[in-house]
């Protein structure tokens, strides 16, 4: 009797593990790819306060429990291959994660000139961005893409030093140019375009003091809500 019970117990455990594996694999996997803004720079706990973390919480709270969000943000990253670092290093991670939805937020670091000289290679923006999308499509041809324009730089943010303000004043028009270029890439690649530039225009209350580029905690929450609402509106969530 004891031996039979042990066999029965093992069968039940195996069935439970199989169901758990199926449930885990059936999750809709959302990959947030980008630079330090995606990573969650300037807040105390990016694992809880970054926009991907808040987005995950919004999904769970909104009844989309079959969805999960993973943060692939890299500080300083560009989509242009010339940039060091760049988001191309995430391709191997995408092979393992196999996302169903990819949210890409890049452009801020592309506006940097000397000594990194990213802007001097901005002519590669469309080519490299398109190639990156193709690389992910080779991993999952059914992957849905949301291309976000870069957040606006807020020159009126409190505490900006004169040199910081001058630097952002030079780079800010480039942000708006990349907004247009990102929209064109999205159209050409049959991807969704999400404007994050306009919603952050002049919103100094959402930016980190003395920074003007990275959101504060409220800014990341606002960003997450923009992405969440967009997904709901476009019926990307299942």
DSSP structure string for the chain: -HHHHHHHHHHHHHHHHHHHHHHHHTSEEEEEEESHHHHTTTSS-HHHHSHHHHHHHHHHHTT-TTEEEEEEE-TT-BSSTTSSSBGGGGHHHHHHH--SEEEEE--TGGG--TTTT-GGGGGGHHHHHHHHHHHHHHH-TT-EEEEEPPPPP-TT-TT--HHHHHHHHHHHHHHHHHHHHHHHHHHHTT-EEE--TGGGTT-GGGB-TTTSSSB-HHHHHHHHHHHHHHHHHTT---
The residue segments making up the domain with residue 53 are: 28-233
Asked whether residue 49 carries a pLDDT value surpassing 90, the answer given is yes
Q: Note whether residue 12 is domain-resident.
A: no
Global pTM reads 0.89
Q: Note whether residue 16 is domain-resident.
A: no
Q: Note whether residue 5 is domain-resident.
A: no
Q: String of b and e for 17-28 (b: at least 16 CB within 10 Å)?
A: eeeeeeeeeeeb
pLDDT of residue 203: 98
pLDDT band at 16 (very low <50, low <70, confident <90, very high): very low
pLDDT of residue 18: 35
Q: Summarize the confidence of residues 26-42 as an average pLDDT.
A: 97
Q: Summarize the confidence of residues 165-183 as an average pLDDT.
A: 98
Q: Summarize the confidence of residues 49-68 as an average pLDDT.
A: 98
What does the pLDDT look like over 87-122, one tens digit per residue? 999 999 999 999 999 999 999 999 999 999 999 999
pLDDT of residue 4: 53
pLDDT of residue 91: 98
Structurally, how many domains does the chain consist of?
1
Q: String of b and e for 80-111 (b: at least 16 CB within 10 Å)?
A: beebeebbbebeeebeebebbbbbbbbbbbbb
Q: Note whether residue 18 is domain-resident.
A: no
Q: Note whether residue 7 is domain-resident.
A: no
Q: Note whether residue 14 is domain-resident.
A: no
Q: Note whether residue 219 is domain-resident.
A: yes
pLDDT of residue 238: 77
Q: Note whether residue 3 is domain-resident.
A: no
Minimum mean pLDDT range among 54-58, 136-140, 182-186, 234-238: 234-238
pLDDT band at 22 (very low <50, low <70, confident <90, very high): very low
Q: Give the domain CATH number at 99.
A: 3.40.50.1110
pLDDT of residue 62: 97
User: Measured between alpha carbons, how far is 74 from 37 in angstroms, rounded to an integer?
Assistant: 9
Q: What is the mean pLDDT of the chain?
A: 92
Asked whether residue 148 carries a pLDDT value surpassing 80, the answer given is yes
Minimum mean pLDDT range among 16-30, 51-65, 174-188, 214-228: 16-30
Q: Summarize the confidence of residues 57-69 as an average pLDDT.
A: 98
């Amino acid at each position: 009797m004891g031996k039979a019970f042990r066999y029965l117990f093992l069968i039940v455990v195996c069935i439970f593990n199989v169901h758990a594996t199926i449930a885990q694999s059936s999750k809709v996997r959302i990959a947030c790819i980008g630079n330090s803004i995606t990573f969650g720079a300037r807040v105390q706990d990016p694992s809880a306060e970054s926009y991907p973390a808040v987005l995950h919480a919004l999904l769970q709270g909104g009844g989309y429990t079959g969805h999960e969000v993973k943060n692939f943000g890299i500080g300083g990253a560009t989509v242009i291959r010339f940039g060091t670092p760049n988001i191309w290093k995430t391709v191997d991670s995408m092979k393992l994660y196999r996302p169903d939805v990819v949210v890409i937020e890049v452009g801020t670091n592309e506006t940097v000139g000397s000594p990194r000289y990213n802007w001097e290679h901005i002519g590669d923006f469309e080519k490299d961005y398109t190639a990156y999308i193709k690389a992910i499509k080779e991993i999952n041809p059914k992957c849905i893409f949301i291309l976000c324009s870069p957040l606006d730089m807020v020159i009126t943010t409190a505490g900006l030093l004169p040199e910081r303000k001058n630097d952002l004043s030079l780079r800010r028009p480039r942000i708006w140019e990349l907004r247009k270029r990102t929209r064109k890439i999205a159209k050409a690649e049959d991807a969704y375009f999400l404007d994050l530039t306009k919603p952050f225009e002049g919103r100094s209350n959402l930016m980190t003091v003395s920074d003007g580029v990275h959101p504060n905690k409220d800014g990341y929450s606002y960003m997450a809500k923009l992405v969440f609402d967009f997904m709901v509106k476009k019926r990307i969530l299942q």
